[in-house]
Amino acid sequence: MTEIATGLIVAAGGSILNFASTKIYNSITGSSKNFIWTNKNINLKNFKISDEFDELKKRTRIIVIDDENSFPTKLFKDEGYTIDKWDIVKDYSKLENGFFDIIVLDIKGVALHISEDDGLGVLISLKKNNPAQIIISYSQHSFDLSKIEFFQLADENIAKPSDFLKIKNILDNLITTQFKPDRYISALDQLLLKNNISDSNIKKIKAEIAKAIKRKKAPDWNKSLEFIQNRTDLAKQIKSLSETIIKFFK
């Protein structure tokens, strides 16, 4: 009887020690192992965010890129939207890395300094890098058949000029129906599967995202993306989508 009791005490003590060790290990490394030291599957969609429209409206960063002044930017600012305007593409890296959640883009006169295809070149490049990036075409060339690719690639189209309420309806609909973590999580999943990323490396990436969300710190990609050091375009896409996901929970 004494031997059984001793065995139970030792087993219980070992389990407690293992559990504590696992917690410490996960805390230090950001790993997602359970107390039997197997990797847990991380479902990023389990993280919750506020769905209050006023909160979403403030969180959604909108940039209007248009060489004219027909977009009612001031009215949107007065209504509490987080919106800015560029006459031309001033900082392409901000567009590429997902800093802005919605990009309102003119097709002409905004990007000839970086693309011979002007706004279309920017749109194609952004969608290639991050298919989940929300882009609205904003142009007076809506009936020009030569520009059809521009309008097909965009998530929404606004003819120039349009009044405040028409534009607001389109923006509000995108914010409430499209600007959600699920959109970007699904895009990340598709990207990883398309590029034949192994399950173990997918878990590393998602563990890094989860750690960044929980700790409210920027992700450290050095270890989780070291397996694709020679694939800079893929690394850039993963970072862009991941950082957009993380942004929802700040």
How many whole angstroms separate alpha carbon 80 and alpha carbon 177? 19
Tokens of 123: 């749109």
The single-letter DSSP state of residue 147 is G
Length of the chain: 250
Question: pLDDT tens-digit profile of 203-222?
Answer: 999 999 999 999 988 899 98
Give SS3 for 82.
Answer: strand
| Per-residue confidence (pLDDT) for residue 28, from 0 to 100 | 46
Where do you find CATH 3.40.50.2300 in the chain?
A: 53-177
| Per-residue confidence (pLDDT) for residue 51, from 0 to 100 | 74
| Per-residue confidence (pLDDT) for residue 46, from 0 to 100 | 77
Q: Report the phi/psi class of residue 37: left, alpha or beta, with left for phi > 0 and alpha for psi in -120 to 50.
A: left
How many whole angstroms separate alpha carbon 113 and alpha carbon 111? 5
The ranges of the chain with pLDDT < 50 are 8, 10-12, 19, 23, 25, 27-31, 34-38
225-247: string of b/e by CB count within 10 Å (b at 16+)?
Answer: beebeeeeebbebbbbbbbbbbb
| Per-residue confidence (pLDDT) for residue 16, from 0 to 100 | 54
- H helices present in the chain, as ranges: 2-29, 53-59, 73-78, 92-96, 119-129, 148-153, 164-177, 181-194, 199-215, 221-224, 232-247
Distance from the Cα of residue 35 to its chain's centroid: 31
How many whole angstroms separate alpha carbon 19 and alpha carbon 13? 10
Note the CATH number of domain 53-177: 3.40.50.2300
Q: What are phi and psi of 146, to 5 degrees?
A: -70, -15
How many whole angstroms separate alpha carbon 84 and alpha carbon 100? 10
Contacts with 201 (C-beta within 8 Å, 6 or more apart), sequence order: 224, 227
Contacts with 190 (C-beta within 8 Å, 6 or more apart), sequence order: none
Contact 238, 226 (CB under 8 A): no
Q: Which residue has the tokens 């993963």?
A: 238
